[in-house]
Structure 1
């Protein structure tokens, strides 16, 4: 059978300045993010260049490998592979939903509330080249959206339904902190699918429709946040994209900014410094009239983004702006996307660590824990995991062992993938200090916790 050489793929490789081996390694690395154990080598790429198409499940992985290298979206058509079948496990988000405004979100939440589909969703790829238009560019679609969802509907919603969504969002945020995302996110997906989606497709006054869109965007943002912290980064990104679309339709600048800020944090966690700064700056630009607490919330993330691209002057300037703004904020702090002094010192720690000041980052994280509200179990768990890892990295083994003990106090009560990630770090760390008596005692507790988790 005669095959046509894939000149489009060759062109992309030239743009990326990759040879066969480099592309194969990049695809294998990207595949691991989607739970795929790929073992491609230079000969595999040679086959692709001669016109052999990789299997459909792998094409999005190849596209994403190029996107991460080039900093822009790459499609299967552009790579010379033809269209890729759309599946929940391989679906990549490239921006807010197009076409039917609610169709993508309906599919997403129905899949997420189905245990048989959730694993496939969690394996979806994070797109490092997701394009996010500015708020004003998304533009004034509310009237058309209302006309679309009202057609043929008999259900009518009012402000009580809007308040129900807002109240459930606060309750789910509280459950997230108390029990972990493993319990809270399925509840959120089910409530979205069974209650919120029908209300979004119901009749109502223009002001009620706008309020419902805004309330739904906040809950979708929270669901994406939970997916991100459960290390389902592709899924979290899809939720964030849907939250942006709902927020702009509901003319909700605050949730739009929060979502972009969450996307910046996600990019930072995954090591995409320039993208983290880009999202953080976009969030700040969308909130020109923000109050002091939201300003601090956004400037702190800008500081971290600047540190990740090694712009020390800008990072410290943004931290100063964060501190000034937070000092002007009132005593209120909402459940979703709030910002307080514990969060500020966490950002200081993140900035110092990114800039290479390990001792300073440890001191800032200790201060963050000192001012953290006692009921913030989820935040305390993560902060202690980060702090203990850095104490261990600095060689302060006994201090790290004490912090790991505090981490375990919370970990045994939470269902959280982020906690599992820290726990894995702890177990690996123990093997490097087998002779330390305090470490041996910690190891005994770790083994007991592992048995409890396995039996649960």
Structure 2
């Protein structure tokens, strides 16, 4: 039997990362937990890999992601001394990649594969000049010819899907979006069209891609969400749509901060703010609020407080001009105030801001109401207000059966775990009994 060769590449990376075997294993387990991949690495596994044993493919991906996060750059298979996956193909073009992504997302049999996709902290985010150049290939169409009527149909369909998402969650709405993207939008992107129509269609497709990525985040499919977000950036570049480009970067920042990657979240939020030309007051509040949350999680108190003040001032200006639905609103701003206060150690202040956010949130945002009420209850319990927490959790459960959302499911799972030590309290016991009969909507 041939003697295995030591993995010098992995050994070098471990030294560069200044990690022990156990720390690498912990990083792998965390990345796996985020992606829903069942893995329990320990230092003995790392020792075997360093002596030449090759981990299975799903673990190899986690090794690369853990090291990329630690080093702040993309680590490749070759650099880590690991074989890449078999049958890798060239990166497809914008429309071809969109079709491949949507088809995989449409297929229920692919659910486990999509769920195994990893959130990558070292993902290369294309700048504005890059995405403008990258989408040039979309210009040439053949056969089908479209006009602004088709563009308007895509815009309206995206709005309808967004409404369904707000009411019933991403697990309900995302399959509709993926099917529409493959069967209708992709052929439109290949169609003949005047230049202004072509750009408008690219912009509409970019909005749909962003929304679909957001819904993938809602289901906890973070690698899939990043893929959709990257396509949204490409399409925004082809249409010269700065607004969707910046909105997508901000969405990527929200994803990162929710996963606890504060530094990466701040980088993305800053990029969104920098790329936004002549932002109006509502857009400015939208961007500054996210910068504030990311900065607070990253430990930069001064920047976080400055950004949240800027967001509040911008929102005051925006509200004086009217209150459109489907945009950044006072409820969203109060959520950011709550998160900044919480990250900076003011839990009581965070509760006050969440209460105000819940008070002014529109009822059409059912999925958001479930999540935010549950978050408020968690923090009420954290400061010892058990009865208030129980009441708030009951309010969250009123809407929960109608929502198919991975993030809402996680909040309810948190509820079960957090209320269990308090079952001697009559109200807590009644809440626990109620939630025991509830299961995530399939």
1:163 paired residue number: 152
In 2, the alpha carbon distance for the partners of 1:26 and 1:325 equals: 39
**1:429 shift after superposition:** 1.8
- Out of 94, 113, 118, the residue aligned to residue 120 of structure 1 is 113
Corresponding position: 1:300 with 2:293: no
1:423 paired residue number: 412
Corresponding position: 1:16 with 2:5: no
Corresponding position: 1:357 with 2:358: no
**Structure 1 unmatched ranges of 5 or more:** 92-96
- 1:448–1:58 CA distance, 2 compared to 1 (3 A): closer
In 2, the alpha carbon distance for the partners of 1:110 and 1:161 equals: 21
- Out of 269, 273, 285, the residue aligned to residue 262 of structure 2 is 273
2:396 paired residue number: 407
**1:270 shift after superposition:** 0.5
1:247 paired residue number: 236
In 2, the alpha carbon distance for the partners of 1:440 and 1:60 equals: 43
Contact 2:249 2:271 in 1 (8 A): yes
- 1:436–1:40 CA distance, 2 compared to 1 (3 A): closer
- 1:311–1:62 CA distance, 2 compared to 1 (3 A): same
1:435 aligns to what SS in structure 2? Answer: coil
Contact 1:4 1:51 in 2 (8 A): yes
TM-score computed with the length of structure 1 as normaliser: 0.92
1:94 paired residue number: none
Deviates more, 1:366-375 or 1:165-174: 366-375
1:73 aligns to what SS in structure 2? Answer: coil
More helix by share: 2
Cα offsets for 1:221-253 (capped at 9, x unmatched): 001001101111111111111111111111110
In 1, the alpha carbon distance for the partners of 2:167 and 2:407 equals: 14
2:104 paired residue number: 111
**1:430 shift after superposition:** 2.0
- Out of 295, 304, 307, the residue aligned to residue 318 of structure 1 is 307
Cα offsets for 1:68-115 (capped at 9, x unmatched): 11111111111111332368xxx9xxxxx9552222221111010111
**1:137 shift after superposition:** 4.2
Contact 2:370 2:408 in 1 (8 A): yes
**1:332 shift after superposition:** 4.8
Cα offsets for 1:139-186 (capped at 9, x unmatched): 445544313xx2xx2011111111111001100011111222111111
**1:6 shift after superposition:** 2.0
- 1:332–1:161 CA distance, 2 compared to 1 (3 A): farther
Deviates more, 1:77-86 or 1:289-298: 77-86
TM-score computed with the length of structure 2 as normaliser: 0.95
- Out of 197, 220, 235, the residue aligned to residue 231 of structure 1 is 220
1:39 paired residue number: 40
CA RMSD of aligned residues (A): 1.9
**1:47 shift after superposition:** 2.9
Deviates more, 1:416-425 or 1:322-331: 322-331
Contact 2:35 2:221 in 1 (8 A): no
- Out of 186, 210, 232, the residue aligned to residue 175 of structure 2 is 186
- 1:290–1:14 CA distance, 2 compared to 1 (3 A): same
- Out of 360, 365, 372, the residue aligned to residue 383 of structure 1 is 372
**1:207 shift after superposition:** 1.2
In 1, the alpha carbon distance for the partners of 2:202 and 2:431 equals: 49
- 1:315–1:21 CA distance, 2 compared to 1 (3 A): closer
- 1:232–1:141 CA distance, 2 compared to 1 (3 A): closer
In 1, the alpha carbon distance for the partners of 2:231 and 2:324 equals: 25
1:128-147 alignment runs, 5 A limit: 128-147=121-140
**1:413 shift after superposition:** 1.6
2:324 paired residue number: 333
1:208 paired residue number: 197
In 2, the alpha carbon distance for the partners of 1:127 and 1:145 equals: 27
**1:13 shift after superposition:** 0.7
1:50 paired residue number: 51
Deviates more, 1:45-54 or 1:391-400: 45-54
Contact 2:265 2:294 in 1 (8 A): yes
Number of matched residues? 439
**1:346 shift after superposition:** 0.5
